[in-house]
Structures are given as structure tokens and as C-alpha cells.
Amino acid sequence: MPIKTFVSERQAANLLAQIRWRDGVYCPRCRAESRIRHGSYRVFQRYLCKDCDRTFNDQ
């Protein structure tokens, strides 16, 4: 799907999130599912892993 298909950055971010997190959001470092919301960056939700204390986004 070409990038020109998307009207906004939010649409592109939503598609990426659906593809990457189809089994649910987990920490990419330690694979733990225990996380809390930790602000946002642009249109991306930030998370804090409760096991390894690293932050990541849903991009």
C-alpha cells in the first residue's frame, strides 16, 4: 500500500499499530505484557514496561 494512500499521519500510524500489535501490545525488549500508558509522542501512544522499566510506543 503506497504511503500516498493515507490522508493523515494518524491513519498510517493506526495501520502500523494494527499490523505490529495484532496479538496485543507487549514490551519489545522483554516481551512482557505488563505495561502502563506513559504519555504520547505525536500521534503515537507511549508505554512504560512494568517489568524492565523501558518505554516504547505503539508505532
Q: If phi over 0 gives left and psi between -120 and 50 gives alpha, with beta otherwise, what is residue 20?
A: alpha
Q: CA-CA distance, 17 to 25, in Å (whole number)? A: 9
For residue 41, list its beta bridge partners.
Answer: 44
- List, for residues 1-59, the tens digit of each pLDDT value: 565 666 788 888 788 888 888 888 999 999 999 999 999 998 788 999 999 999 998 87
Q: Which three cell numbers stand for residue 1?
A: 500500500
